[in-house]
Structure 1
Amino acid sequence: MQVAKPVGRNASALKYDILSALGVSALCGDKHRQRLLLRLMVLITTRYNWQSNELSMGRAEIARLWSVDERTVKREMAKMRSAGWVEVKRAGVKGRVTVYALNLDGVMAETAGNWDLIGTDFADRMGDRHGGAGAPAHTADPKVIPFQPRARTDAAEGAWGQVLARLRIEAPAQTTAWFGQLSEMAHEGGRVTLAAPSRFVADYVSTHFQAHLLRAYAAVDPGVRRIEVVPVES
């Protein structure tokens, strides 16, 4: 997946959409997630260069913005890199600060499960962008693949199909963004193994939705006691 940079025509609308998605996702999380996403939003709104996709700031400046010490900055930036929200574009050497880049694919994946909370029109707009805000739809770059959560709910059968049917009712947005990307690899002895299309999806689902999946599976098969999500990357 590749999300076009928010530059050119309609760029302002896309920037606001990205910030809206981050804000709503923050409010859905616990205080630690809220704080981390808020800190990312502050970096974006104060120092991020959308045109060049660069965030060039030293730890001391970030610490001042966040009202924390530099050790906290180091720890929090590492969390953002691990989550796939930012990446190092140029490492800081010889007195130069580290230059970060915003990973729009990671941000879209992080927030997709909450788009419907803003509105179905917002979810459709974010999922169906072609070529991003930098060009009209009819001149979209054919090399750019818009972010679009994949769903396999219609093809699923057996216990997993029943679980997905429940999840579609209980958590439609999360099913579209995350659960629909999974498939059942094994189901025996109280243990279920689900396949994810990437390590990012596997890690995210395991971290944020393990209990939700277990409850849904237990409603279909009370014998299920453990669920493992593993990446199967092509």
Structure 2
Amino acid sequence: MQLAKPVGRNAAALKYDILSALTIYALSGDKHRQRSVLRVISLITTRYNWRNNELSIGREEISRLWSVNERTVKREMARFRALGWVTVKRPAARGRVAVYEIDLKQIMIDTQEVWPIIGSDFQARMSEDSEPVTNVVPFAAKPPGPEINTPEAKPEDVWSQVQSILHGRDPELWASWFQHLSESERAGGRVILVAPSRFMADYIAQKWTARLLAAYSRVDPSIRTVHVNAAD
């Protein structure tokens, strides 16, 4: 999927498209989905900085916007992180609220089922088959995905399915980082992954743990934590 950054001349149209997809996705679900997605929309429309992809807000302020207590905020934000919709960019510190990032691309992927309801023009705009018109020649082809359809890879192989999800979401990121990981342990809601170097393990743990957890949650909802260790 090609999703431009919502800034510049076409920013307003893209923002409306994202909010439209979220709204119709909410309305197509039960009351729990409707309330949850409405909470996301409220954060986007009241506090989200589209240009910097930053949501700078504290738990107390969120609870006031949502008319709920802070326990509900904590639970709901954890759910959004597990979905991959929200990640923590900078944790809260003394005198400073947390700063979050909203993954608009993941949101659009998850709302794809309702695109036909919005209309064929919307579906065509957002479809991964609609490549943007450009005169830039790409330097490299799209990285091939993980080979999960080999005789060695069984359909029930959770790690293979997670790798496939990670590749589908961002092939370049997968090729640079995630394809080098291996799963060493998965039990009791915890997963331990192994990276070939300490640098890679530390970098992935710092930057991409939430994305790994979100991918695992789609395959095995019992997974609650993901740790990345170095092979050495």
Same fold by TM-score greater than 0.5: yes
2:165 match: 198
> In the aligned structure 2, how far is the partner of 1:96 from the partner of 1:26?
32
How much does 1:33 deviate? 1.2
> In the aligned structure 2, how far is the partner of 1:141 from the partner of 1:92?
42
With the length of structure 2 as denominator, give the TM-score of the two structures. 0.60
Structure 1 position 122 matched with structure 2 position 122: yes
AA paired with 1:198?
A: I
2:97 match: 97
SS of the equivalent of 1:138 reads coil
1:163 match: none
Q: Deviations over 1:132-171 (max 9, x none)?
A: xxxxx3367959x9xxxxxxxxxxxxxxxxxxxxxxxxxx
2:227 match: none
With the length of structure 1 as denominator, give the TM-score of the two structures. 0.59
How much does 1:95 deviate? 2.2
> In the aligned structure 2, how far is the partner of 1:141 from the partner of 1:68?
50
Superposed, 1:129-148 pairs within 5 Å as 130=131, 137-138=133-134
How much does 1:30 deviate? 1.4
Change (3 A) 1:2 1:116: closer
> In the aligned structure 1, how far is the partner of 2:137 from the partner of 2:47?
28
2:192 match: none
Change (3 A) 1:94 1:79: same
2:78 match: 78
SS of the equivalent of 1:96 reads coil
How much does 1:101 deviate? 0.7
> In the aligned structure 2, how far is the partner of 1:108 from the partner of 1:141?
26
Matched-pair contact (CA < 8 Å) for 2:3–2:105 = yes
Query: Number of residues paired by the alignment?
Result: 163
AA paired with 2:165?
A: S
Matched-pair contact (CA < 8 Å) for 2:54–2:100 = yes
CA RMSD for the aligned pairs? 3.3
Gap regions ≥5 residues in structure 2: 142-147, 167-213, 222-232
Superposed, 1:1-234 pairs within 5 Å as 3-128=3-128, 130=131, 137-138=133-134, 193=156, 196=161, 197-198=164-165, 203-204=217-218
Gap regions ≥5 residues in structure 1: 132-136, 146-181, 187-191, 208-234
AA paired with 1:15?
A: K
Q: Deviations over 1:169-204 (max 9, x none)?
A: xxxxxxxxxxxxx97989xxxxx7597422657754
Query: Percent sequence identity over matched residues?
Result: 53
Change (3 A) 1:28 1:14: same
How much does 1:3 deviate? 3.1
Matched-pair contact (CA < 8 Å) for 2:87–2:101 = yes
AA paired with 2:103?
A: N
Change (3 A) 1:21 1:92: same
